[in-house]
Amino acid sequence: MKRTILKEIANKLKESKTALLYPHVVLDGDTLGSSIALCVALRKLGKTAHILIEDEIPSYLRFLDLNNDYCTYDQHIIDEPDLSIAIDCSDIKRLPLRREKFLSGKSSINLDHHKTNQLFADINYIDEDASATSEIIFNLVKLMDVKLDSEIAEGIYTAIITDTGNFQYTNTTKTTHLIAAELFDIGIDMEKISIEIYQKVRIEQIKISGEIFGNMEMLFNGKANIAFVNQEMLKKTGALMEETEGVISTLRNIIGVEISAFLKEKHNNEIKVGLRSKTYGDVSVIAQKFGGGGHQKAAGCTLNTTIEEAKKLITAEIIAHLEEAEKRVKKTEKQHKI
């Protein structure tokens, strides 16, 4: 069934002449790597295809489009494209400055792996079992009868490793590894990718981590923790906000911690909250209470308030969630006794 729909999408792509690809705002490895892979594949079929972005490409992903061959901010690059294709984008709200443009395509497609996807396009293909949207792109490109080359393979590989924490998160499957094996066969410069993504840490990043962990608070008998970064801390250390990306994983990796929250002060009264759980917690529930979304173990939301206030609000929800979870566990234990 899934495969039939994907084949239909492949045919639609083959029939089109022009396509604009829409990665979600706040570019990450999956949304950008998947977009690059699909854009290269479309061009190999002779289509006019571009990736329309609205924010800066983070430095660790610059290598994917080093010569600005694919990504553009120019909304007039194609005026009325045959296809608008959203990639790894759970909600049309994640195309804030590109929403109208997206809707102006003659037809729209939505390729994603988030279970919270809002199905906002004409054709929506959501595969929750895919570790990354790039697993979908991998199959789609094959169904388009495009021979995968190194550039496509590196886009797909980058997407997989960033979304699975290098095959470490539990979204990793047998299929993920089989795809990786095929990508190795096609030829990827794994050393380059690894250096670009993981081995270009600035000393400022090490300094900001020190600041953040110095202020970390443990909650609920060590079952949760919360930390933050504000503009002042960035100024003091010379670090960039994007350099705090790994903090949330480290918070969650602390022994005994089930839920972690990391608050970023983007601007005054704009606090971006990242949430993670280790096993039984469902942080998508917490994020949804503040209008956000995500997966069970990784979710996020934005609060228009101060860091202090946001900390209080998030802390309260985390504790309520953990109390609820513990009650459930006790109830189950009691039932087992009976």
| Contact footprint for a copy of itself (CB under 8 A) | 161, 165-170, 172-175, 177-178, 180-181, 184-185, 190-191, 194-195, 198-203, 206, 210, 213-214, 218, 250, 252-255, 278-279
Nearer to a copy of itself, 52 or 251 (CB): 251
Nearer to a copy of itself, 18 or 176 (CB): 176
Kindly state the smallest distance separating residue 245's Cβ from a copy of itself, in Å. Answer: 13
Nearer to a copy of itself, 143 or 186 (CB): 186
- Do residues 21 and 49 touch, judged by C-beta distance below 8 A? yes
Q: 210: buried, middle or exposed (CB in 10 Å: 19+, 13-18, 0-12)? A: exposed
Q: Which backbone phi and psi does 105 adopt, to 5 degrees? A: -65, 150
Kindly state the smallest distance separating residue 222's Cβ from a copy of itself, in Å. Answer: 9
- Do residues 59 and 242 touch, judged by C-beta distance below 8 A? yes
Strand order in the sheet with 18-23: 71-72, 48-52, 18-23, 83-87, 107-112, 123-126
Kindly state the smallest distance separating residue 240's Cβ from a copy of itself, in Å. Answer: 13
Half-sphere exposure (Cβ direction) of 219: Cα atoms closer than 13 Å:
24
Nearer to a copy of itself, 140 or 160 (CB): 160
Please enumerate in sequence order all residues whose Cβ is within 8 A of that of 266, keeping only pairs 6 or more positions apart, or say none.
241, 272
Nearer to a copy of itself, 89 or 224 (CB): 224
Cα distances from 85 to residues 19, 30, 81, 99, 265, in angstroms, run 7, 15, 10, 12, 31
- Rounded CA gap, 164 and 166, in Å? 5
Strand order in the sheet with 270-277: 217-219, 224-229, 259-267, 270-277, 298-303, 293-294
Per residue in 295-326, is it b (16+ CB within 10 Å) or e — as a string? Answer: bebbbbbebeeebeebbebbbebbeebbeebe
CA dihedral for 134, 118, 224, 241, sign (positive or negative):
positive
Which run of H or E residues covers position 226? strand 224-229
Kindly state the smallest distance separating residue 253's Cβ from a copy of itself, in Å. Answer: 5
- Rounded CA gap, 238 and 21, in Å? 34
Chain CA centroid to CA 189, Å: 23
Tokens 């096609």 — which residue? Answer: 186
Kindly state the smallest distance separating residue 209's Cβ from a copy of itself, in Å. Answer: 8
Kindly state the smallest distance separating residue 319's Cβ from a copy of itself, in Å. Answer: 20
Kindly state the smallest distance separating residue 90's Cβ from a copy of itself, in Å. Answer: 24
Nearer to a copy of itself, 121 or 153 (CB): 153
Nearer to a copy of itself, 59 or 304 (CB): 59
Nearer to a copy of itself, 2 or 202 (CB): 202
Kindly state the smallest distance separating residue 17's Cβ from a copy of itself, in Å. Answer: 37
Kindly state the smallest distance separating residue 329's Cβ from a copy of itself, in Å. Answer: 17
Nearer to a copy of itself, 42 or 239 (CB): 239
